[in-house]
Structure 1
Amino acid sequence: MSKTKQPISLFSEWFQKELNLTKVQIPTAVCLSTIGIDNFPNARFVSFKEIINDSFILTGSLNSRKGIEIKNNDKVALTFWWTKTERQIRIQGIATEINKQLANKYFSERSKKSKAVSSICEQGKEIDNMERLEKQILRKVAEDKNIPRPKNWGGVSIKPLRIEFMEFKKTRFHDRKLFEFDNGEWNMKQIQP
């Protein structure tokens, strides 16, 4: 690719600009889409951690609905929308589980209450008494000095195959660039608004 930035570098540049401008509480929020075991798409917001080896890292419960769906079908999509810079990035790729050492690192960075929630809750399961569950979590926070990472908590590394960058324009003549990974290299196409 001549005169065009590689997509991972371009993502990092756009992300940093948004982080410098935004005042939103969770600037790392990204929409993760998976294919459900019922063949319906599912989308939810999660927290993007970082890029490692040109792959996008997310963490969470591996036995949650999203974790089960990723194990069943490793094809996923990420959608970033940044309000300050009015930019959108859509990514399609293949998800693989991160190693235990990396999962331990991310878990250690969580707050004590977040660790307690992750160790007690079965994400997405039905509950009949929310108050009892909250008391159980508060008790764990008060009693345990060090809450270990549960075996079902980890993360995924998403290796992108397609990345589309879109800059919104007031004229509605949006600038869209699509990068596709083929034969070991990124190819870019300018696509219509």
Structure 2
Amino acid sequence: IRVLIRRIDGYFLGIFEDITDIKRSEETARRSLEANRTLLSELHHRVKNNLQIISSLINLQARGMDQDFCELMRALQLRIRAMALVHELLLSNPEASTVDFASYTERLISYLRDMHRSGVQIEVDIVDVKFGIETAVPLGLILNELVSNSLRHAFDDGGTIRVSLEDTGNAFLLRVSDNGRGLPEGFSLKENAGLGLDLVGGLVSSLTGHSHLSRPGAHHS
């Protein structure tokens, strides 16, 4: 019962309202919300675990294979890790439905540097922005391909990779650049791109964006 007492012209007016149905509805909504949060958390947990299992199976399959095959399997593992990391971040904050892209980028780049056992310096400048999973996953895969490409091919003995994301007002600009040896003369994204850059092109299209390559230095955006 909700009681409201008002003073009117020297008298008191008491209003008694039965709010049982309202309270029951609120409790039902609260339980439903809790159930949805639990379900969503379990979903992210299972997806993350399944991706880790797939990565482990790939690792087992690569044992005893030649170097080229192992490199292909490792590239596939990195792509899986880029996706799994999104679910890890969402799992760590059950209240959130978006991913802090700066935090995501830092963790992904740290993982890539460790996997490539690289001492290359990586500078990161990411605008404060959060993306839903439908945007964070393809952006993460794009970032994975471009940074991995620089780590594998750009340097002989150290250097710097720069990663930035800026808000241009009506769009976001993701830029990956390095001061390494650069791309071969005559290189074309349409004619010479391998699987990694082909994947980048497809992901950029899925985000209704466009890609651009410029020289000097391997610079992709």
TM-score (norm 1): 0.27
Higher strand share: 1
Larger Rg: 2
Higher helix share: 2
Higher relative contact order (CA 8 A, sep 6+): 1
